[in-house]
Structure formats: C-alpha cells, structure tokens
Amino acid sequence: MGTQASPRGRNPRGQGDRLRAEIIDATLGLLDELGDDQALSMRAVARAVGTAATSVYLHFADRDALVLATLRHCHDDLMRAADEAAAGSDDPAEQLRARVLVLGTWSRRHPGLYRVMHESAVNRRPETAFRSEVADSTTAAVRRCMDAGVAPAGDAQLVALDLRAAVHGAVALRLSQPQLDWPPLTAQIDRFLTRLVGLPAR
C-alpha cells in the first residue's frame, strides 16, 4: 500500500525539472488506477514519487494544473500513437482503420486514463481544447477516404462524428462494465467502418 519510492536524493542544480517529470509520471499511474481525476490527491502523488506533498507545488500551482498537465501529456501520447499507426500504410482506408483501432488498443492499455480523458469534468474547461485534435485528425482521415474514392462522398465531418461516437460508445461500454464478456471490439469497429463510413467490407 504505502508505495513509498526510495528516498530520492535532491536533483543537481540545473535539473529541477526532473522532479516535475517524475510527478507527471506518478500522476499518470495514479489516474490510470483511479479512473477519476477528482479522486486524485496531491498527497497520494507525493507518496508515489517519494517526496513531500508540498514539493508538488513547486512545479504545479494546484491540483487542477497538475491534472491538466498530465492529461496534455496523455493526449500527446495518444496522438503520436495514432499518427504512427496511420503511417504504416498508404491506403486511406487502412489509415483510417489504423487510426481508429488505436483508440481501442490505447483504451485497453490505459482504461483509467481513457476514462479520465473522456469523462472528467476537466473536459468542460477551455484549457482542454487540445482534445479536438483527435476529432480533427479523424475527420481528415475520413475526408481522405472520400477524396480517394474508397468511401462514398458525403459530409466528412458528420460521418467522422458518427464514427467517433460509435467507437467511443463501444469502448466506453466495455470500460464501464468490464465484468461482462463483450464480443471482439475490432470486429465491431470494422462494422462501423463499413456501415457508417462506407468502406468496403474486409
């Protein structure tokens, strides 16, 4: 329980940011366990890092700032994963599929973090505008499919919204009731790609 890290030594002069990185890292872990940003306590973060509770305030103004910074970190990681997955193919359809599947695999690897990113009250604050990047990249991928003719022409933004909603719903249902046994997510996502976007069946 008392996941007290080894008594950390002080950082050398120029590297005061090292503690900052450790704090964000610990916060990522805690948020993933908790699945709720409101349940995160500064003291728990400090305990996990092995530092004094007040030392967190040297790098983050308050709890909200810490959560926000951590979620931004999280978001960048998710975006990078999506971009990397899409880079594996030249086919726009495969790129869209890869991009969407990343959401599924990422949510399985970091269930709590996925929940915090999508359900937390922080999303209602303007500082989390970065979240729209994921939406925009999906819309762009859908549009490329239409332009390439692998998907019927249409309102890319609306189609992308339908796809995002469906995929998020599929993921969210699985996260909220993990004790049930769900049919494979990948097949469900493929159905969404076929029926909502109009990609050819695999």
DSSP code at position 155: -
Q: Given the complex with a second copy, which of 60 and 192 has the nearer CB atom?
A: 192
Q: Given the complex with DNA, which of 24 and 189 has the nearer CB atom?
A: 24
Angle (CA) 85-90-94 rounded to 5° is: 55
Task: For residue 127, state whether it binds DNA (rule: CB under 7 A).
Answer: no
DSSP code at position 52: -
Which residue has tokens 């967190």?
Answer: 56
Q: Write the CB contacts of 132 (distance below 8 Å, at least 6 apart in sequence).
A: none
Q: Given the complex with DNA, which of 51 and 95 has the nearer CB atom?
A: 51
Q: How far apart are CA 23 and CA 162, in angstroms?
A: 37
Q: Given the complex with DNA, which of 15 and 186 has the nearer CB atom?
A: 15
Provide, rounded to whole angstroms, the least separation between the CB of residue 183 and DNA.
37
Q: Which does 200 bind (CB under 5 to 8 A by kind): a second copy, DNA, none?
A: none
Task: For residue 119, state whether it binds a second copy (rule: CB under 8 A).
Answer: yes
Q: Which does 41 bind (CB under 5 to 8 A by kind): a second copy, DNA, none?
A: DNA
Task: For residue 125, state whether it binds DNA (rule: CB under 7 A).
Answer: no
**Cβ proximity of 50 and 5 under 8 Å:** yes
- Fill in the amino acid letter for 151: A
Task: For residue 167, state whether it binds a second copy (rule: CB under 8 A).
Answer: yes
